[in-house]
Structure 1
Amino acid sequence: MQTMINSVIPPGYWPLAGNFGLNTNLLETNLINLGVVLSLLVYFGKGVLSNLLNNRKQTILSTIRDAEERYKEATDKLGQARIRLQRAKVKADEIRVNGLSQMEREKQELIHVADEDSKRLEDSKNATIRFEEQRAIEQVRQQVSCLALERASEALNSRLNGELHSRMIDYHIGLLRAMESTTD
């Protein structure tokens, strides 16, 4: 391995190269090499690593801010949705109450109309009954009048003779003359 190092870096190239050598013992050099590599990484990679960490930090912060904004928007939308839900519930209750009151009003109105129709039918029935009673009474009166006239006519015809008939005529003529003289 020494020959390989000498072929890459000739010993006369650096004045101190003779004093400076590489230890090829793996157990001794591993910690030193690891320390050198880590220091080189820290020295050269510090900027890159800090840039990467800063970029990652900014990305995480912006993601957190976006999440917080989305959370705030979602919370606002949830609040608005709850308000709309409450309004819808109130409106539904109003509609239900209005529907029930309108149903009650229509029920009362139908009952009132039915009562009025019943009264009209009762009045019509009573008027029809009175009319039929009057007609029946009138028919009975006519029949009674006809029978009375027939009996009176039969009684007059059976009792009335020529002499009584002329006395009745004379009596009525006298009455008419008396009425005529009082009016003049």
Structure 2
Amino acid sequence: MTLNFNPLETNLVNLAIVIGVLIWFLRGFLGGILERRRAAILQDLKDAESRLKTATEELTKAQAELAAAEQKADKIRLDGQSRAASIRAEGEQRTISVMAAIKAGADADADAEAARIKDTLRREAALAAIDKVLSDLPSRLDDQAQARLIDSTITNLENA
């Protein structure tokens, strides 16, 4: 068995041309696809960052509103305690009409408390929505790992 070193008979020239054309074509074709994918992933990341920023701002606002509502609730509680003490002290001296006025005040406090509870429930719903957005972020960040894999594949193709 003898080795044939004639390039025309062994089709080495043809193979070199075909491999060169394939490398040139695939580099342009795959490079375009990978670049579009990279741009889409970057846009998704920017969108996620924007949503995170919005959610963080809404959380900060909701926390400020909650703190204000808690202060108001504490004031209402202290006012209610002091008013209850004065009612007990003057209870023997008041008439039936004063008791009716107290009942009207209690109804107003109950309405205010019901409104406060509604506001608290709304804030809790907003916090739950923010928690959901924050829990979605890690699954979206998995695309970043995919982007790194694509980038390393592009680098390997360019170095080949």
Structure 2 length as normaliser, TM-score? 0.47
Structure with bigger gyration radius? 1
Higher RCO, Cα 8 Å, sep 6+? 2
